[in-house]
Amino acid sequence: MTPLDKVEGRAIPFGLKNVDTDVIIPAHWLKTTTREGMGRGAFEAIRKDPENLFDSAEYKGAPILIAGDNFGCGSSREHAAWALGDLGIRVVIAPSYSDIFSGNAVKNGILPVVLPQTAIDRLMEVAATDPVFVDLEHQTVTTQFQDRFTFEIDPFRKMCLLEGLDEISLTEKSDSAIDAYEKQLDADRPWMRPAA
């Protein structure tokens, strides 16, 4: 996973509340075999409108998305995080997220920043014309107009994002414990291996 520390650039002033994973990536995209290319299906219904923000000259490829309450609710599909990542989004800023979505986001190198609605409103304003700066190390979101918002994040998630660690790499650090467990299991309950 690509480590994430400072992200700066245009932020898509999307702002909608209760955006469910069906909106982020419709169900028919579940019939794919790769994570890549999922960006084409991201916000598919919204992007049917030729005037949509995501494909506008200003916001195409923007690394930050600003949204409303309860972002990523609905089905648990991880495809939602893949779609955002493939669209080039590294940070989402919203007042709240569904638990499953924020977990999936972090697993896929996307930072879900939680800020109060007042901060969101201000950032939406700035994003209309100017870039937004996100600093994970210092847990701040700033603008060139002296706005400075700090956010909370679980230290474990922060470390994973900063170091670009995926959970598999972390678990691999416990390799010898897994080896030992397997040896003990074979000794205690040899019949647990599927019979040939």
Contact set with another protein (CB under 8 A): 28, 30-35, 76, 78, 82, 104, 107-108, 156, 167-168, 171-172, 174, 177-178, 181-182, 185, 189-195
Q: Between residues 11 and 81, which has the closer beta carbon with respect to another protein? A: 81
Shortest approach of another protein to residue 121 CB, angstroms? 28
Angle at the Cα of 30 from the Cα atoms of 26 and 32, rounded to 5 degrees: 125
Q: Between residues 34 and 146, which has the closer beta carbon with respect to another protein? A: 34
Shortest approach of another protein to residue 13 CB, angstroms? 30
- E strands along the chain, which residues? 6-9, 11-13, 64-66, 91-94, 111-114, 132-135, 140-142, 148-150
The answer to whether 21 and 74 have CB atoms below 8 angstroms apart is yes
Q: Between residues 48 and 189, which has the closer beta carbon with respect to another protein? A: 189
Dig out the tokens for 182 from the structure: 């397997």
Shortest approach of another protein to residue 69 CB, angstroms? 17
Shortest approach of another protein to residue 72 CB, angstroms? 13
Q: Which amino acid is residue 90, in one-letter code?
A: R
Q: Where are the alpha helices (DSSP H) in 25-116?
A: 79-87, 99-107
DSSP state of 21: H
Distances (CA, A) of 11 to 98, 107, 154, 177: 21, 22, 23, 44
Dig out the tokens for 181 from the structure: 């467990």
Q: Between residues 138 and 183, which has the closer beta carbon with respect to another protein? A: 183
Q: Between residues 35 and 47, which has the closer beta carbon with respect to another protein? A: 35
Shortest approach of another protein to residue 123 CB, angstroms? 29
